[in-house]
Amino acid sequence: MNTLIPATLVLSLSLAPAQSVEVPALPENVIQLFKMEEDVSSHQLLLFTASWCPACVQMKNNEFPALKRQNWEISESESSHIRVIDVDQHADLTEKYHVQSLPTLILVVDGKEVSRSGSLNAYSIAEMFYNRK
């Protein structure tokens, strides 16, 4: 069994605890992505994460509020825009998608992986979801 190590773990150990920051509004071009009439009902982002991963916690705290303000559903539900998958609880999915580092975002369209990335800001997450990246 592989041990997952967040890419920023070494750096984060020397940093002070994360503080809450003001989350900026999404840029207008991202807001336009949300208004597109294209059918994205088959799109879902899988976020592989863990409670012990500092980069995962930082992404959730700093980037997700802006997406939630645009009515994105972010949860463990299979019907949400971003499906949060805890690697400690879902080893089967972690193995299936060959996740090697955290956080990992995987865009799935019609059940097939289209792209993947590490930690992203809200703008890049929206771009990835709409497959514009």
Mean pLDDT of the 69-83 span: 92
pLDDT at 22 exceeding the cut of 90: no
What is the pLDDT of the chain when averaged over all its residues? 81
82-126 pLDDT tens trace: 999 999 999 999 999 999 999 999 999 988 999 999 999 998 998
Provide the CA 63 distance to its chain's centre, in angstroms: 9
Tokens standing for 85? Answer: 């998958």
Do residues 56 and 6 make contact, with C-beta atoms less than 8 angstroms apart? yes
Q: Name residue, tokens 């949300």.
A: 34
Please report, for the domain that includes residue 99, its CATH number. 3.40.30.10
Query: What is the DSSP code string of 19-76?
Result: ---PPPPPPHHHHHHHT--S--TTEEEEEEE-TT-HHHHHHHHHHHHHHHTTT--EES
pLDDT at 27 exceeding the cut of 90: no
Give the count of domains, the chain.
1
The one-letter code for the residue type at 100 is: Q
- Please tell me which residue, 13 or 115, carries the higher pLDDT value: 115
Tell me, what's the pLDDT at 42? 86
At 108, is the secondary structure helix, strand, or coil?
strand
Examine residue 47 and state whether it is found in any structural domain, yes or no.
yes
Mean pLDDT of the 45-53 span: 96
At 16, is the secondary structure helix, strand, or coil?
coil
- Provide the residue range defining the domain that includes 72: 41-129
Examine residue 110 and state whether it is found in any structural domain, yes or no.
yes
